[in-house]
Amino acid sequence: MIKDCDIIGVRYGRLTVITESHKVLSGSLYRRRFICQCDCGNRVTVFLHNLREGATRSCGCLVGDRRRERARNVKNTESEARNKVELEQFSQCVV
């Protein structure tokens, strides 16, 4: 089991653990929450279990970054397909 002092400063994805926030009673168990600093500058409180399992890797900025990356890839793919069709149409006109 990792002690509190061992987890401070550890990185999980884009999050760096700063300090323990508080414990939440869940059923008969206490779940530990930690305050983390994201690479983008935001702070977020996260359950330790979610950090270790990889369920939480950022403050939410990662979702936006991935959405923009997918949109950029789709746009590039559509552009390449359109250019290919235009090139085929042009080559048919020339012949």
The domain limits of the chain are 1-59, 60-95
Average pLDDT over residues 34-54: 93
State the pLDDT at residue 67.
79
* 24-28, 66-70, 78-82: range with highest mean pLDDT: 24-28
Q: What are φ and ψ of residue 91, in 5° steps?
A: -65, -30
Distance CA 14, CA 91 (A): 49
Q: pTM for this one? A: 0.62
Q: What is the SS3 assignment for 78?
A: helix
CB crowding 58-89: b at 16 or more within 10 Å, else e:
bbeebeeeeeeeeeeeeeeeeeeeeeeeeeee
Q: Would you state the structure tokens that stand for residue 86, as one six-digit string?
A: 């235009």
